Amino acid sequence: MSENIIGYLDHNGTIIDIQSADETSNLTPITYDNSDKALEIIRHSTAHLMAQAITELYPNSQFFVGPVVDEGFYYDFRVDQKIGEEELKTIEKKMKELIKKKYLIEKYTLSKSEAIKKFAKDDLKQAVISRIPDEILSVYKQGEFEDLCRGPHVPSLRFLNNFKLTRIAGAYLGGDENAEMLTRIYGIAFADKESLVAYLTMIEEAKKRDHRKIGAEMELFMFNDEAGAGLPFWMPKGAKLRLKLEEILHKAHRSRGYQPVRGPEILKAAMWHTSGHYACYGENMYITEIDEQEYGIKPMNCIGHIQIFKQTQKSYRELPLRYYEYGVVHRHEKSGVLHGLLRVREFTQDDAHIFCTPEQIAPEVIRVVEFVDAVMKLFGFNYTMEIATKPQKAIGEEAVWEMATKGLKDALEQNNLSYTIDEGGGAFYGPKIDVKITDALGRKWQCGTIQVDFNLPQRFEVEYVAEDNTRKQPVMIHRAILGSFERFIAILTEHFAGEFPLFLAPLQVIIVPISEAHASYAHILKQKLMNADIDVEVYDKNDSLNKRIRNAEKQRVPYVAIIGDEEMANSGVAIRNRQTREQYNLTQEAFIEELTQELKKGKI
């Protein structure tokens, strides 16, 4: 056996760690590197190493779960004293001491009844056991530390040298807001030091780009806890940015044959029962009562679009029929997951629904993918696609799910488009393609989605008149490209570090007159720029010139135009171009022409 093998893959793509592998002849080795599968093993094992260190430092600690997540790993635990950020270095030091002891990670199994007895005095372990359906449970042991775990794990602590504990937080037991608050420590781990250093450098840069920080500095949006958590307020500059994004998308939709519609934000609960949302998504909905009848505030826009489609009889000649809406939706997100604009309780989807025949699925999906590609290129994003299949909580027959999933796969494969599979990650009413974008820091974000749905048209008895004059059920393609304006603007803000391209910038030009004598000329120029559809302000307050220029640059505005005697004499402007980091002089006309040409880049 190679010293660098830390696990195996079976024929189903499932990770089998060395401790669990009986036969290796038909298994694919996983070597010690930064591949996704290897990192899953390394990070899971590092979580156990962290728990072992915490146990030695705080002997009365009790542990709940310690999974691998997108940002590394974490462990939830109970400790009888307060642990702060300053203790993370102490825990890291203890982890490194434990690695030097070269403990092997050993696995053994026991029955559920034996596990209940073994951990009888640990209520957190009892909570974990109650969530496991299996009758035979596995325990992983290293030195004196052991914990219930399915694995996988590396064979020895010697593989765990490159890690960093990143932050500490509170977490409700099992995600239940009414349950006990546990301590949660997050960490990251890699196979080599270079990757760890690169990641930590990226994290530091990400802190500088945090959309919450930049949003406050640029006065884009705000939150008010007295008004309610997770409910964003858009300030004038943020509303301008958002409006520009909406207008770009409006033009792109209309040129691609979409028609605008709008549905109500609240519907009778009977509608949500019919759709399956009440049963499969009810815990995320806001329910109220009006005139002794139950209503649900919409978490999605699909039902409204179905009602609009059904309002008049449709012919096969009208298909595909494409509706789009910037639909405001509300979802009951738990307070612990709210995060700036990335996770809110009210947001606006760039939502669309395409009603088509089964034969039209593939070409329509490809049209949406081409639309996605155009949007991503406009903002400089790379992206990947992932097909998410039937989840455990779902509606509809298996044959329908298989047909819908095949439709998505065929569309991508026939056009030589690569994708990965997310088993069980689909919506409750149909499979989907998730679009995952990569930003300037190399981080991946899930934004757009394309979902094929045979179930909702069936449940709402949606029909069209076919060519043979019979009534048939259309297929419904749910589609969002940005995902939501809130989340996408958060990602854009961090991607551009607040330095938005001219066509998107909420404030595009700031004019700074050197003295009061130049203010009149500055305001004349401002009016000319406004007439050319440029968002512009004049900074002529009674501050020093340097302070006014500094304040202008803090706004991350694409252009700062300085006005002095020479500019007035030549009907010109002195330009500071933030995007090219250049300084130069232009006439008023040439400046307006440069801006106009730059604005044309904001088209899809």
The set of catalytic residues is 302, 331, 349, 351, 353, 432, 478
Give the span between the Cα atoms of 221 and 490, in whole angstroms.
10
Residue type at 292 in one-letter notation: E
Token readout for 540 is 């002529």
Q: Residue 445's beta-bridge partner residues?
A: 437
- What is the 3 state secondary structure string of 18-29? CCCCCCCCCCEE
The answer to whether the beta carbons of residues 272 and 285 sit under 8 Å apart is: yes
Token readout for 594 is 């440069």
Report DSSP letters for 235-250, one per residue.
-HHHHHHHHHHHHHHH
Place of tokens 């009603």: 355
At residue 372, what are phi and psi to the nearest 5 degrees?
-55, -45
Count of Cβ atoms closer than 10 Å to residue 303 Cβ: 21
Give the span between the Cα atoms of 559 and 174, in whole angstroms.
50
Three-class DSSP category at 59:
coil
Give the span between the Cα atoms of 386 and 522, in whole angstroms.
52
Give the span between the Cα atoms of 404 and 417, in whole angstroms.
18
The answer to whether the beta carbons of residues 251 and 366 sit under 8 Å apart is: no
Sign of CA dihedral 241, 244, 245, 246: positive
